[in-house]
């Protein structure tokens, strides 16, 4: 047996099957930018939806770039800071697709 311990920071993307190794900030897939609705307020275990969250839009707030993820299952929206590991081409194409 390998010393395999489930770490909430590491996950396999359910959208593109990319294995995401967390760095303490990662909560979405750097390849396709999709996330998963498992990140609850600490202590709040009522919201274990587990739906896939699509990157629905891109926002800038005080110079800080953030992705807004929307849960496909329940519609919950959540802002996530962009990570340096993120596929920036995907971010750009997301921005462009929103502008048209």
By CB under 5 A, name the binding residues for Zn ion. 13, 15-16, 18, 29, 31-32, 37, 49, 51, 71, 73-74, 76
- In whole angstroms, what separates CA 35 from the centre of its chain? 3
Nearest-angstrom CA–CA distance, 49 and 47: 6
The three-point CA angle 32-40-90 to 5° equals 15
Kindly tell me which of 54 and 65 has the beta carbon lying closer to Zn ion.
54
Is the Cβ of residue 60 or residue 86 nearer to Zn ion in the bound state?
Answer: 86
What is the nearest approach in angstroms of Zn ion to the Cβ of residue 52?
9
The token duo for 5 is 């311990």
Nearer to Zn ion, 18 or 65 (CB): 18
CA 76 to chain centre: 13
Q: Assess contact for 30 and 15: CB atoms under 8 A.
A: no
Q: Least distance to Zn ion from the beta carbon of 58, Å?
A: 17
> Closer CB to Zn ion, residue 3 or residue 84?
84
Name the minimum Å distance from CB 17 to Zn ion: 7
């Amino acid at each position: 047996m390998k010393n395999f311990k489930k770490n909430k920071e590491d996950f396999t993307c359910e959208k593109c099957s990319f294995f995401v190794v967390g760095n303490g900030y990662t909560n979405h897939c750097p390849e396709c930018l999709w996330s998963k609705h498992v990140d609850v307020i600490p202590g709040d275990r009522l919201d274990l939806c587990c739906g896939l969250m699509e990157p629905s839009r891109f926002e800038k707030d005080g110079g800080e770039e953030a992705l807004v993820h929307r849960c496909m299952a329940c519609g919950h929206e959540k802002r996530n800071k962009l990570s340096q590991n993120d596929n920036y081409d995907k971010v750009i194409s997301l921005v462009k697709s929103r502008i048209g």
